[in-house]
Structure 1
Amino acid sequence: MPAYFDYNVKGEHFSLFSTYHLLTLFIVLCLSIFLYLIRNFLKKKPRDSFFRYGLGILLLLSEASYQFWLLFFHKWTLKAALPFQLSDLTVFLAAFMLFSKNRGLFSFLYFAGIGSSIQAMITPDLGLYSFPHYRYFEFYLSHGGVVLSCLFMIFTEKYRPSLFSLWMTIILINLYGVVMFLINRKLQANFLYIMEKPSNASLLNYLGPWPWYIISLEAVMIVSFFILYLPFWVKQKTA
């Protein structure tokens, strides 16, 4: 059992699109579909509140366990532990959205949360940690939870993103990127991967050298956000 929690693990490292990786992605997809199928069941109180608070607490506990894990192995550093990657930050924002039912947070998280979480789950920066290590489960629990949080607000609370919120999210992410650039220089960190590409297989590896891949990533972000908005745009036009 301790081997599943060790910081320095032996054996196979995470393998992109391995059987376990694909199965995990399939499970997240199945949970998303299942959430849609039981949406009417979850609308009724107190089930609505129970699910929202339960998922929100689960997200916070997941992140808290990661901090404790780093502290336990004396590996806690500002570079390693600060939740400044966009997909990590959205875990906390998703929990607060679930607790407060804040529409502004939903408008941001639908694009930034789902977009960054899907990207993180498809090409995770897990390094040593593969199934069934604790870090593997924590990573997919938190990022998959962000996706489910947004879908829950759509399916049961009828929240909807707008074209305005799409562009506002793009502006906010760019402003956040400027702040992260300054923090990266101060801490010699690589939050948002704007200082260098991640070591794992990633979309960034196909977007050119530094700093040009940042411009390419901006275009990819805009396109992906419009793809996320497309179902709602189609529904508006056909209503």
Structure 2
Amino acid sequence: MTQLFGHQYDLYPFQLFSVMHLVMLLVFVTGSVLLYVYRKPLKSLEKPMKVIMFSGLFILELFYHIWLFSGKAWEISFTLPLQLCSISLLLCLILLITDSKFLFQVVYFLGIAGAIQALVTPELFVGFPHFRFFQFFITHMLIIWVALFYAFVKEFRITRKGLWQAFAFLNIAAGFAFLANKLTGGNYMFLASKPSNLSLLDYLGPYPYYILVLECIALLLFWVLYLPWRGAKK
């Protein structure tokens, strides 16, 4: 049992698009579809759903840091909340408390765009049935489900203004991440180098040009996420 929480990653190596990876992707798609299909009945369960999602995100993130500390693996160069999905997670927690329409726009665009990429090509070095495997996938699913919950169930509107607000927020966050990389020797938001395992960034050219390409792709993804709501009531 202790091996499931250990730091010997070679015991449970992660394999991209393995059976369990595909199972987690199926769980994500199924959960997303159910949020839409049952969006009206779920209105009566808004409060308990918010509590469940908040608790899930908070507890899993807390356990993740405890796990790192216990294994003497917590390092300032990679565990600060300056990765795109770490930022989205914190914003989700605040959103679930405040119902802020501004934060919703940021979570919708940043959270969905970043977490989907993470789910499809995870920067993950340990696989099923390790704790980190489940913590990683469930956390990223919840980030997207929080955004979809507010869009489908609470009927918050996605706006063009929100798209540009999210894009501006992304660039401001990237500035802080760049500074943190210089100070800590880290690679927050992959602004110092590409991830060591296979990812979409491998197809975007060499450093530092892939950062500019990534910026364009981020804006394109934001527009794709906006299109289903174009013309909807604000």
1:28 maps to a residue whose letter is F
1:32 is matched with which residue? 32
Q: Which residue of 2 aligns with 1:173?
A: 170
State the shift of 1:236 in Å: 3.6
- Partners of 2:35 and 2:232 in 1: how far apart? 23
Q: Deviations over 1:58-86 (max 9, x none)?
A: 10111000000011111111123212101
Q: 1:158-237 counterparts in 2 under 5 A?
A: 158-233=155-230, 236=232
TM-score relative to the length of structure 1:
0.94
Partner of 2:68: 70
CA distance in 2, matches of 1:83, 1:7: 21
Residue matched to 2:107: 109
**In the alignment, what sits opposite 1:157?**
154
Question: What amino acid is the match of 1:55?
Answer: M
SS in 2 for 1:10: helix
Aligned equivalents of 2:29, 2:93: Cα separation in 1: 20
Give the distance between the partners of 2:84 and 2:8, measured in 1 at CA: 26
CA contact (8 A) 2:105 2:162 kept: yes
User: Structure 1: where are the runs of 5+ without partners?
Assistant: none
Runs of 4+ in structure 1 off by over 2 angstroms are 9-12
**What secondary structure does 1:160 align onto?**
coil
1:114 maps to amino acid: I
Q: Which deviates the most, 65-74 or 175-184?
A: 175-184
Quote the sequence identity (%).
34
Task: Letter of the 1:108 partner, please give it.
Answer: V
Note if contact 1:108-1:169 (Cα within 8 Å) is conserved in structure 2: yes
**Matched residue of 1:39: which SS?**
coil
SS at match of 1:78: coil
Q: Distance in 2 between matches of 1:199 and 1:9?
A: 15
Distance in 2 between the 1:58 and 1:12 partners?
Answer: 24
Paired position in structure 2 for 1:43? 43
Normalised to the residue count of structure 2, the TM-score between the two structures is 0.96
Query: Structure 2: which 5+ residue stretches go unaligned?
Result: none
| 2:96 match: secondary structure | helix
Cross-structure match for 2:118: 120
Alpha-carbon displacement from aligned partner over 1:83-121 (angstroms, at most 9, x marks no partner)? 210111111211221122111110111100111011111
Contact 2:12 2:129 in 1 (8 A): no
CA distance in 2, matches of 1:88, 1:26: 23
The answer to whether the aligner puts 1:59 opposite 2:57 as a matched pair is yes
Provide the aligned length of Structure 1 versus Structure 2.
Answer: 233
Counterpart code for 1:148:
W
- Distance in 2 separating the partners of 1:69 and 1:41: 37
What amino acid maps onto 1:59 in structure 2? L
Q: CA deviation at 1:12?
A: 4.8
Please list the CA deviations of residues 143-190 of structure 1 after superposition, one character each: whole Å capped at 9, or x if unmatched. 100111011111111101111111121111112111211110110000
